[in-house]
Structure 1
Amino acid sequence: MNIKDQVQRIDNMVSQGDIVNAVKTFFADNAATSDYSNSTTNTKLQMVEKMEGFLGAIANVNGITHHNSIVDGNNSASEFTFDFDMKDGSKIYWHEIIQREWNAEGQVIREAYFNAN
């Protein structure tokens, strides 16, 4: 499986805001995630539920910008900026690096988020 192609495909989906389907399409069933606020998931289903809840709380997407991606073997890193107005009146502006580890079948088995600010 060509990891560079997979990274381009998942990053394109994320850029379009199709995050739930990106998880459904590219994550292995046992994929684990972690972020810089110490929130974790241990399965694809948990991540789908987390993303559905998060996306349901967004009032307006001001922008999702994909800056760059790199691939080294079965690891990738993608830089994004996310700008959202939330239904509770708060604003989210994240500039982050998404590090992914991929298996031989081209599925994400680990994803970690790092604050790039």
Structure 2
Amino acid sequence: MPSREIVEAFAKRLEEGDFVGAIEQFYLPNAATYENNAPPTVGRDQLIAKERGVLAATKEVKAIRLGPSLIEGDNVATRWRFSFTNAEGVTRTLDEIAWQTWQGDKLVEERFYYDPKQLGR
């Protein structure tokens, strides 16, 4: 079960824009993430590579946490608003719920729930 301090430290890394650093520090080597109902991305190295790809395709990414993270045992739920600005200066905003499963102070699974229409898909 993660402590409030660990969850807050993780959220702070995202709010500071250190997305890759957050994965490196807080995810287990065998962690998996799921985008809505898509197949998972498995393994910290694959998660880092995917995140670097997203960052390379955008000019700027901002993360704002909306309200507190809710912690119940090994589960954490957080509502986020991400803004992605592309090279042409177009910004798209994504409201998302992140549902996390932790083992101690490390993430083992994270599921992102959002409407993909928000990103123009």
TM-score (norm 2): 0.84
2:21 aligned partner: 21
1:55-91 deviation per Cα after TM superposition (whole angstroms, max 9, x unaligned)? 1111134x42111210000110111101111236654
CA contact (8 A) 1:3 1:74 kept: no
The offset of 1:49, in angstroms, is: 0.3
TM-score (norm 1): 0.87
Q: Distance in 2 between matches of 1:78 and 1:7?
A: 10
Q: Distance in 2 between matches of 1:15 and 1:80?
A: 10
Q: Distance in 2 between matches of 1:65 and 1:75?
A: 20
The aligned amino acid for 1:54 is V
How many percent identity over aligned positions?
25
The offset of 1:38, in angstroms, is: 1.4
CA contact (8 A) 2:2 2:103 kept: no
Q: Give the 3 Å change call, closer, same or farther, for CA 79–43 of structure 1 in structure 2.
A: same
Q: Distance in 2 between matches of 1:37 and 1:52?
A: 22
Q: SS of the residue aligned with 1:58? A: coil
Matched, 1:12 2:12: yes
Aligned structure 1 segments of 4 or more residues deviating by more than 2 angstroms: 87-92
Gapped runs of 5+ residues in structure 1?
Answer: none
Gapped runs of 5+ residues in structure 2?
Answer: none
Query: Matched residue pairs, number?
Result: 115
1:26-63 deviation per Cα after TM superposition (whole angstroms, max 9, x unaligned)? 000000110126152110111000001101111134x4
Q: Give the 3 Å change call, closer, same or farther, for CA 85–5 of structure 1 in structure 2.
A: same
> What value does the CA root-mean-square deviation take over the aligned residues?
2.0
